[in-house]
Amino acid sequence: MAVHKGFDGYVMVGSEVVGNINHWTITETTDVQETSAFNPTASGLAKRARTYAAGAYSWTASFDGFADVSDAGQQALKTAIENGDPVSLYFHLEGDKYYAGQGIITSTSDDDTWEGIVTKTWDVQGTGALEKYGFS
């Protein structure tokens, strides 16, 4: 079983590395459409069983880390959400393995505690397919 080391990961927006990120999540989803129909020749459980087909595909992402107003990557994300512009995002694992896609920043939040360091979270709605590179 191949494992990936988390400390090799990072996020890029366009050609800029987003600084101070220490966590990212990608969720891929396929809608499900019910295709159940009358089945007069079936009996027992098969007569009552629902059937489904895969529908539309989508993806979302979330990433967070320490807030840094001087970081070019974090500034690019700030500009994108203010202007409503889609961004090219790259979510890197180790080596040449990464995910890439266009997305719209749907939200950003700051979290500050008295005893901690300010953290920042970004949420993304993917638009189009999420491509995977370097995976066999």
CATH code for the domain in which residue 26 is found? 2.30.110.20
Q: Considering the domain boundaries, does residue 37 fall inside one? A: no
* Residue 83 structural domain: 6-30+58-133
3-state secondary structure the chain: CCCCCHHHCEEEECCEECCCEEEEEEEEEEEEEECCCCCCCCCCHHHHCCCEEEEEEEEEEEEEEECCCCCHHHHHHHHHHHHCCCEEEEEECCCCCEEEEEEEEEEEEEECCCCCCCEEEEEEEEEEEEEEECCC
Q: Considering the domain boundaries, does residue 49 fall inside one? A: no
Q: What is the pLDDT of residues 115-127, one digit of tens each?
A: 889 999 999 999 9
Q: What's the CA gap between 89 and 16, in Å, rounded? A: 10
End-to-end CA distance of the chain: 13
What pLDDT sits at residue 118? 96
Q: Considering the domain boundaries, does residue 50 fall inside one? A: no
What pLDDT sits at residue 1? 61
Q: Considering the domain boundaries, does residue 128 fall inside one? A: yes
What pLDDT sits at residue 29? 98
Whole-number mean pLDDT of the chain?
94
Q: What is the pTM of this model?
A: 0.87
Q: Considering the domain boundaries, does residue 98 fall inside one? A: yes
Q: Considering the domain boundaries, does residue 92 fall inside one? A: yes
Tokens of 96: 């040449």
Q: Considering the domain boundaries, does residue 82 fall inside one? A: yes
- The total number of structural domains in the chain stands at 1
